[in-house]
Amino acid sequence: LNDGDNWRNVGQALFPAAQAALGEALVRELADALPRALESEAGSQRMQKTLALAVGVTHYAETHTFPPVEYAQSDAEAVAKGLVAAGLDPLHVTTLTDSRATAAALRAALADWTDRLQEGDQAVVYFGGYGTRDAEGAPQLLLHDADGAGAGTFSLAELAELLAALPATSLVVLDCGFDGQGRSVPGGAAATADDLAALAEAGIVFAGSRRGSAHLSPSHAEA
């Protein structure tokens, strides 16, 4: 009779062959089942994902030029938490607030989506903070590093261009203004449909306003 050492030697000799056979069987099973699963409606839905970016700037680097925007940071954090609570994978939700919410960080976050999104996916972008207009009157978002002289800005046209390049369906929520009221800097002009024309081609824009006001989104206290 074989003792324990002999059986261990037999097992060690047979294990590589058994492992290879199991691997081949698994590959054959996946090769047969995976295409059918992906082609099914349920499989396609499981493969879809939503990536979200929540940006909120309460405190700007240039505090004298841009006073704090009440609740903008907490609004962005609440949006992120709400999306996770609704079922989004926490790894698919990015939050940029205050000093982390620079123009460069926003561009980098959107660039990261290029390799992560595919047809059938969704992209969600929320921005809470100051809105403004450039010298030509085009609407812009002001990020933490805005200096009042052109730095730290992110135009809606650029946002639309970056989102349009993605294969996903995009949803944009703008919690800011462009007419000098609410979450916008002084000297703006009343919002028009032209402000959102570029974004409309890239996805859907939710724009809220209060009665008698032309700005796109009221401040937290007025909402």
pLDDT tens-digit map of 159-196 = 999 999 998 888 888 888 888 888 889 888 877 778 77
Q: Where is pLDDT greater, at 196 or 202?
A: 196
The residue ranges of DSSP E strands in the chain, in sequence order, are 50-56, 93-97, 122-128, 131-133, 139-142, 153-155, 169-175, 203-206
125, 131, 134, 139 alpha-carbon torsion, rounded to 10°: 50
pTM of this prediction exceeds 0.75: no
Maximum average pLDDT range among 72-76, 188-192, 213-217: 72-76
Residues of the chain with pLDDT > 70, as a percent, come to: 69
pLDDT beyond 80 at 102: yes
What mean pLDDT comes out for the span 25-30? 53
Distances (CA, A) of 183 to 6, 56, 123, 139, 141: 79, 12, 24, 13, 10
Identify the pLDDT of residue 222: 34
* DSSP SS3 for 95: strand
Identify the pLDDT of residue 221: 32
Identify the pLDDT of residue 33: 54
Q: Where is pLDDT greater, at 96 or 188?
A: 96
What mean pLDDT comes out for the span 11-31? 55
Question: Could you read off the pLDDT of 118-172 as tens digits, one per residue?
Answer: 998 999 999 999 999 998 999 999 999 999 898 999 999 999 999 999 988 888 8
pLDDT beyond 70 at 37: no
**Residues 6+ away with beta carbon under 8 Å from 185:** 66, 130, 131, 132, 142
CA atoms within 13 A on the CB side of 140: 21
Q: Where is pLDDT greater, at 178 or 22?
A: 178
d(CA 72, CA 131): 12
Chain mean pLDDT for the chain: 79
